[in-house]
């Protein structure tokens, strides 16, 4: 069996793609899997770290405001489609999976024009532009939220949930606290701004460090690479009280296990992980995403009393009022935990691979 998985740009695309690949390889250890990403994006390092080969396309998205770069966009797409076609002709996959992101469009266009079976995995509650444009060309569309027929042909839709590494929920509290050097007796707040970091969350967290220290709260703060040097300087004076900044947390299973409450952006992967781990959460949707889809992701939880919502514009003034109040309210934590855990779909990855394999029954 030979598969191409395409897409990337952020952890929200990359980690589901790797989860799908891992499940395929678990069932078919001899499967050949090739990733196709965008040169210069994080998948070009994260995918090899996960043990898979990847090739890159020279492709980027349209700028939201007019720039001369947008004039070159059609030419870049044409070149990327030609290169994707060459990759497909040489690798000869049995099927192609697109997970969203810049690289998935050229690969899916090239594959479907050659009558190669294709599957789209849409992570968000508001469909991405690439997936909407390509929906009629693929055989299956796996989605994480109900009501997606307004974006996609209903006869190709399968409600699966998002592929999440199930081991993310396997961390043990005592081991996790020891791993991060945290006091077992004091509450822990986990702040995660997505794989690239979040300016607003970092600003609000830096300002709240004295309040967290005074309240006896410990902090695991994932800042992202760009923001880490400044955040680390701000956190160092508080390190002795258990408040720590991290550029990137590789052991997210232990980070979730250590945390009593989580503050997070509302990317699709983060939301799915929070559901699986059952963590009481405060979501701060990023305003800098297409069609405000993170707010829609958050509302899918908050309308079911499964998380709290703080708007990005209010985060610097109200986020830590709510975070400290929730940390001091175990009953509310238990209620949110039960409600969010009920929304988890732990079999999502397996279901997606089931659908993928149906497209290539001769294998």
Binding-site annotation: residue ranges for UDP-N-acetyl-alpha-D-glucosamine: 10-12, 124, 165, 195, 268-273, 294
CB 53 within 8 A of CB 25: no
Exposure b/e, 308-343, CB count within 10 A at least 16 = b:
bbbebeebbeebbebbbebbeeeeebeebbebbbeb
**The dihedral of CA 230, 234, 235, 239: what is its sign?**
positive
CB 10 within 8 A of CB 197: no
Q: What is the token pair recorded at 297?
A: 């992701």
CB 254 within 8 A of CB 171: yes
Q: Which residue has the tokens 């039960």?
A: 338
Question: How would you class 79 by CB atoms within 10 Å of its CB: exposed for 0-12, middle for 13-18, buried for 19 or more?
Answer: middle
CB 246 within 8 A of CB 220: yes
Reference 223, options 251, 208, 203; nearest CA is 203
Three-state SS at 318:
helix
The distance of Cα 51 from the centroid of its chain, to the nearest Å, equals 19
Per the annotation, binding residues are: 10-12, 124, 165, 195, 268-273, 294
Reference 360, options 120, 106, 159, 139; nearest CA is 139
The distance of Cα 339 from the centroid of its chain, to the nearest Å, equals 21
Which H or E element spans position 284?
none
Question: How would you class 58 by CB atoms within 10 Å of its CB: exposed for 0-12, middle for 13-18, buried for 19 or more?
Answer: middle
What does the DSSP 8-state code read for residue 328? T
């Amino acid at each position: 069996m030979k598969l191409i998985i395409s897409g990337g740009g952020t952890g929200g695309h990359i980690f589901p793609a790797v989860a799908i690949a891992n499940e395929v390889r678990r069932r078919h250890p001899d499967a050949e899997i090739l990733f196709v990403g965008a040169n210069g994006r994080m998948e070009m390092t994260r995918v090899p770290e996960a043990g898979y080969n990847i090739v890159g396309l020279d492709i980027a998205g349209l700028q939201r405001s007019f720039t001369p770069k947008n004039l070159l966009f059609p030419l870049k797409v044409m070149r990327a489609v030609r290169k994707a076609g060459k990759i497909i002709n040489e690798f000869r996959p049995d099927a192609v999976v697109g997970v969203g992101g810049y690289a998935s469009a050229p690969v899916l266009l090239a594959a479907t024009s050659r009558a190669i079976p294709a599957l789209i995995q849409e992570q968000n509650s508001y469909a991405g532009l690439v997936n909407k444009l390509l929906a009629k060309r693929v055989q299956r569309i796996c989605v994480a939220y109900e009501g997606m027929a307004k974006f996609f042909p209903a006869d190709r839709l399968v409600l699966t949930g998002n592929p999440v590494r199930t081991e993310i929920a396997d961390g043990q509290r005592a081991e996790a606290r020891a791993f991060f050097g945290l006091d077992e007796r004091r509450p822990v707040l986990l702040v995660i701004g997505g794989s690239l970091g979040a300016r607003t969350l970092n600003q609000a967290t830096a300002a709240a460090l004295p309040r967290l220290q005074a309240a006896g709260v410990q902090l695991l703060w994932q800042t992202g690479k760009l923001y880490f040097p400044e955040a680390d300087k701000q956190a160092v004076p508080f390190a002795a009280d258990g408040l720590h900044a991290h550029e990137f947390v590789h052991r997210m299973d232990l980070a979730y296990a250590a945390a009593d409450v989580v503050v997070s952006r509302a990317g699709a992967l983060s939301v799915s992980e929070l559901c699986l781990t059952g963590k009481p959460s405060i979501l701060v949707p990023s305003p800098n995403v297409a069609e405000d889809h993170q707010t829609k992701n958050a509302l899918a939880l908050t309308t079911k009393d499964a998380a709290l919502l703080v708007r990005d514009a209010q985060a610097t003034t109200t986020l830590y009022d709510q975070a400290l109040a929730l940390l001091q309210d175990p009953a509310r934590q238990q209620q949110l935990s039960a409600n969010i855990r009920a929304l988890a779909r732990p079999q999502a990855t397996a279901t997606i691979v089931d659908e993928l394999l149906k497209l290539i029954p001769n294998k």
